[in-house]
Amino acid sequence: GAGANLRWIAPAAALALASAVVVGRALRRRR
C-alpha cells in the first residue's frame, strides 16, 4: 500500500539527497 511505499521512498530520498550533497562538494572542491 501507500504506507509501505512511503516506507521505502523516505530512506531512498534521504540517501539520494546525501549523495547529491557529496557530489556537489566534490565538484566544488575540483573547481
According to the model, what pLDDT value does residue 25 have? 96
The three cell numbers of residue 23 are: 557530489
Please tell me the number of Cα atoms within 13 Å of 18 on its side-chain side: 6
pTM of the model: 0.61
Cα–Cα distance between 11 and 1 in angstroms, integer? Answer: 17
According to the model, what pLDDT value does residue 3 have? 86
- Amino acid identity of residue 9, one-letter, is I
Residue 4 falls in which region: left (phi positive, over 0), alpha (psi -120 to 50) or beta: alpha
Dump pLDDT digits (tens) for 1-31. 778 888 999 999 999 999 999 999 999 998 8
